[in-house]
Structure formats: C-alpha cells, structure tokens
Amino acid sequence: MAEDQLSRAFTALADPTRRDIVARLSLADATPGQLAEPFAMSLQAVSKHLKVLEEAGLISRSRDAQRRPCHLETAVLDEMTAWVDRYRRNAEERFRRLDAVLAAMDDDMHDDAHDTQHNDEHQQDEDEGVASP
Amino acid sequence: MAEDQLSRAFTALADPTRRDIVARLSLADATPGQLAEPFAMSLQAVSKHLKVLEEAGLISRSRDAQRRPCHLETAVLDEMTAWVDRYRRNAEERFRRLDAVLAAMDDDMHDDAHDTQHNDEHQQDEDEGVASP
DNA sequence: GTTGTTATCAACCAATCGGTTGAGAAAGAG
DNA sequence: CTCTTTCTCAACCGATTGGTTGATAACAAC
C-alpha cells in the first residue's frame, strides 16, 4: 500500500466519496452518521473511508458521547499543494526558457548567423529519491 | 475504477514511482527508456505507469523514430491545486470565523451579558455532487 | 533482406480496494 | 438493569492495481 504520507494523501483524495467528505468537512465538522447520510452506502463503508482520511492525516476525530465528530486538518492539504505546485512551476519555468531560446533563434533568422548555444534540458536539484520497489 | 479526471489525476500521483517520473519530467522531457533506467523494475512496468499518467492527462507523448518522448502537461496539475486549495481555504476561513466568535464571547465575559447569537456551521455553495456508487 | 533497439500488448499473479453483512463496543435514556 | 443509538471491527467478495514474463510492432542500421 501507500507507505509514505504523500502517497496516503493522494490515495485518499483519489476517491470521489472521500473528496465529497472533505468538501463537506471544509464547511463544518460532522459525525460519521451525518457524513454517511447523503450516500447510497452503508455506514460501515463510510467509516472505512474516514479511516483512510484519518490515516492520511487529512482529518482528526474527537469524542462526544457515542459520536466521533470529524474535523478537517489543513496541514497535509498544504503539503499536497506544495508538491504539485513545485513541479508545475519547474515545468512552466522550463517552457518559459524554451520560448526564450526559440525567440532568440527567430531573431538570428532575421539578424545574422550567430553562434547560439541553446542549453535547455539541464539538470537541477532533485528530491523524492528514486522510488524503492 | 477512477472515472473522472480528478480521480484519475489523484490516483496517478498516489504512486511514488509515478511521482518520481513527474518530478523528472518537470525538468526535461524523456523517453520511457530514460525514465525506466533508475528504477529496479522492468520497462514494461514503467510503460504501464506512463499509461496511467497519460490517461490522467498529466503527460503527453510525441514520436521520434522508435522513441516516444514524454512531456509533462501542467493543466491537470492546475486543476488539482485548485481543488485542494479551494477546500483548504474554506476550512481556514471557517476557523478564522470561529476564532472571531470565540474572541467575541471572551469580550462578553469581560463586558456584560449580551444576547449573542453566534451562527457558525452555516451551509455554503457546494459542487462535486453526491458521489454516485 | 537480417539484426538490434525501443516500446507496447497480452496473460498471469499476489495484494489491495471498496463495498457488503454480522457482531460487538461505548455511551445515553428508560 | 435493559433498550436504543452511534460507531468500529472482522470476515468475506469481486474488481482493480502493480508487478512479472513472453510475444510483437515499429523503426534504424547494416
């Protein structure tokens, strides 16, 4: 299964039922019973979904008599946007540089034959070590 | 399986191997062979991962002789951050209002007994309709 | 043509996922 | 105490996942 935090978080949000739960918890805390009500599935199934969300760190649960109200935690959501945004920015920065190179080549076409050395596809820093099997 | 775009995208990034591929593609386009090289798994396995990423709309593939260079697409990454950020903001805005209510209650303690009606947990707009089974 | 390289397709397999039902724990109400 | 409500745990089931190996397609090089 998904071993690390980020894998658990993405796995959790990969399910539309769980995304709907997160969407509703963003508006108000709710008990498993309240969360299960609009779905055409058993309370036990929703309970499993909540467990997945909790183990991903996306929600926390307190206690109120028999009830176990669920609360959305935003820290892991932050980590997710940070990850996605980092690589989106990497890519867009790369495209921006490529556009600049193409523009320079276009200039040379109209200008003269300069010795342009365009040097895209260079390596940068890297984290998230090579995935282990 | 994951039927909608967002589910496919989150599912795709739920796997550490695929996240590593995305990370490297954010720096430079690469062929399946180049992408498979650092992994301790077969080229066929990586080819499957690329198929998942492609069907999620996260990468596109062109053609160069036998090679099928992969290119990271940023549009779906944008949709993912948009989704996550929306509900993170919902939650944080809600917490901010709750803090305000608590501060007002604290004021009343020091002030006098006013007829404060604090009205959190109200409903807002909602999309992502109730998930179908 | 044949050979070599690159990548995908197909079939298989163990493990996981998302649901079910049934039993039981935990707490308030009579 | 018993009864009800709320929720979780356990066992089961079919479908999907993530890997494997083997065959094959597509193209370059010879």
**pLDDT digit string, tens, across residues A77-91:** 999 999 999 999 999
Using an 8 Å CB-CB cutoff, list chain A residues near B72. Answer: 87, 91
- Residue A121 above 50 pLDDT? no
Report which of residues B130 and A21 the model is more confident about: A21
- Residue B107 above 90 pLDDT? no
Q: Which of A88, A94, A131 sits opposite B20 (nearest CB)?
A: A131
Give me the mean pLDDT over the A49-68 stretch: 96
Number of A/B CB contacts below 8 angstroms equals: 153
CB A54 within 8 A of CB A46: no
- Residue B74 above 80 pLDDT? yes
Q: Which of B34, B35, B39, B74 to mutate to test the interface with A (most CBs of A within 10 A)?
A: B74
Fold of A5-73: Arc Repressor Mutant, subunit A (1.10.10)
Report which of residues A100 and B29 the model is more confident about: B29
Lowest mean pLDDT among A19-28, B31-40, B78-87, B115-124: B115-124
Non-local (6+) Cβ contacts of A57 within 8 A are: A5, A8, A9, A73, A75, A76
Task: Specify the 3-state DSSP secondary structure of B121.
Answer: coil
CB B6 within 8 A of CB A80: no
